[in-house]
Structure 1
């Protein structure tokens, strides 16, 4: 078994860690030193989670508010790209070939992850490929800066990011790492698989058994952690992700799923004019969707494993990109 958090690490006093990081020295005032929100947060972490208030205050003295983060998260959402434009961003020869190289390089680890968690290697590799191009772009913001900025200066989602900041500090204490030394995306997503701190603490694993979980620079832990996440969300080993469909009749539009959660089963969709390219049991819950493809509308049925991928990122097109990248890597490996 691979632990998510060892007892010794979990119970390392924050005071010891802070001393090791030099945080017990008097610090210059940081961007949040006078913030009532920070004072309240420090009080909560001291009262409820056993942190030392003086050391937390010293830590936050080095935290910087990043206007670029506020700008990025506040930017009006771009019009959602159609599938014909979204797909070429992630499905490229370069990403396929680099994925095959990553797969070969970590073949033994991926095989072990499949044996333990039931998640096929190509799916794990595709997640890491779509998220960070196999570790090539894991983010350049200090996670402490990102989460603090959003927790204290972005009211629309402050409760969410305050929770993630709390999780991140507990993560740093458990893993005995410098919280100021870890980098991620502007939203605080971390490492090769881009886990948020709460996902790290819930699903990340020490897959190489070295006593620490490192998803930033250790592909072994990243691979195990993605597999762990998928298993915990109900991945079904050996089962397909989607099935192509054709539609006919006036009622076909009624079959389209609003959102991601399946609300109809395969039999109900057949009654509405949907025909699957694959045999599906009548009772199977499916997500029915239409994509604007390069050659016209495409109709698809998302199966239970498709729904699992959308737990990683709540987007139909994201899940399709992951699945198609995975399939194309299998084909590329077979042709090499």
Structure 2
């Protein structure tokens, strides 16, 4: 009888998974704990109940985050998404429209205008495609129904609710990516609160609708994550300069100094950077075979925005295309 009751309990537990009425009733939502975290921002428990009662689980969000493009595509397939004539053309239009803001951001923050534009171009097609999921749905779904990264997304959910009070917005309204990233530059809530800046002097930080704040915020993010003005991002190697496989790793961190590289590789950059500068050889698959690059500190800074070599390379190549397009005009 005990065994049968245990079996029936297991059946109920399995069949009941996901059977709560709404997120306010979700077993993973610790309402009293959340209220204590947010009461200083003006939230009451009843207000939080109303918010989570309105939040919706989206299976498409879980499906999307389980198969990000950076994990399922080869480099040349990923590259073809972002290095298109249209994205370059619209990028040049964006840069012309915001020339003064980009120039000021470059002067004050030290990040090239084309790099800031390229990140916004990769993230949201220059603000045109900023996401179709309600942020509250994305963060609730991932906080409570995606155990693999629930700790991270529960933190982001708290940050988002704090941000909503600071911005005086209804937390049920803003839309973003399937991961809950927001605005022109697709900042996660914690990044919004830590790195977004008021760049037009109106005493309000708005990266949803204000291109100046979005541009300044992207530049500020990179600066705070170690961007070094005037230094390179990548250097492509010719076939005869390729390094042996033991030099290649999947680690995003820079593993070597220039002085530690084989002499032929070190000679390519030793005249322009100090010998103790950090560097990493990487290899990715193109349509015609493997390609190697030496990547530098600024490449690593871009990976702080999105922890992917392919992402950083797409930003780099788009920025180079934008810079070349400006020179031709």
Q: TM-score, normalised by structure 2?
A: 0.86
Of residues 209, 224, 227, the one that matches 2:216 is 224
Q: Structure 2: state its 5+ residue gaps.
A: 1-19
Which has the larger helix fraction? 2
Structure 2 counterpart of 1:104, from 96, 110, 118: 96
Change (3 A) 1:249 1:103: closer
Unaligned runs of 5+ in 1: 1-28
Please, which of 232, 235, 248 is the counterpart of residue 227 of structure 2? 235
Q: Does 1:35 align with 2:26?
A: yes
Superposition RMSD on alpha carbons, in Å? 2.4
Partner-residue secondary structure (3-state), 1:70: helix
Contact 1:244 1:277 in 2 (8 A): no
| 1:207 pairs with one of 196, 199, 222 | 199
| Residues 87 and 321, structure 1, Cα contact 8 Å, conserved in 2 | yes
Give the TM-score of the pair, scaled to structure 1: 0.84
Q: What's the offset of the Cα at 1:308?
A: 0.5
1:159 lines up with 2:151 in the alignment: yes
- Give the whole-Å Cα distance in 1 for the aligned partners of 2:243 and 2:77: 28
- Equivalent residue, structure 1, for 2:261: 269
Contact 1:190–1:196 (CA<8 Å) still a contact in 2? yes
SS at match of 1:324: helix
Worse overlay, 67-76 or 318-327? 67-76
Alignment of 1:3-22 (within 5 A): none
Q: 2:251 — aligned with what?
A: 259
- The whole-number CA distance in structure 2 between the counterparts of 1:214 and 1:78 is 28
Distance 1:241 1:79 in 2: 22
Local SS of the residue matching 1:180: coil
Cα offset, 1:52, TM superposition = 1.9
2:38, 2:158 within 8 Å by CA — same for their partners in 1? Answer: no
Match of 1:309 in 2: 302
Question: Which residue number corresponds to residue 5 of structure 2?
Answer: none
User: Do 2:115 and 2:316's aligned partners in 1 also have CA atoms closer than 8 Å?
Assistant: yes
Q: Is the 8 A contact 1:30 1:62 kept in 2?
A: no
Mean Cα deviation higher: 302-311 or 252-261 = 252-261
Residue from 261, 275, 294 that aligns with 2:287: 294
Q: CA deviation at 1:323?
A: 1.0
Say which SS state the counterpart of residue 25 (structure 2) adopts. Answer: coil
Of residues 149-158 and 105-114 in structure 1, the stretch that sits farther from structure 2 once superposed is 149-158
Matched, 1:197 2:189: yes
4+ long deviations beyond 4 Å:
46-50, 75-79, 246-251
Within the candidate set 157, 170, 176, 1:178 is matched to 170
Take 2:296 and 2:237, find their aligned partners in 1: how far apart are those partners?
A: 12
Partner SS state of residue 292, structure 1: strand
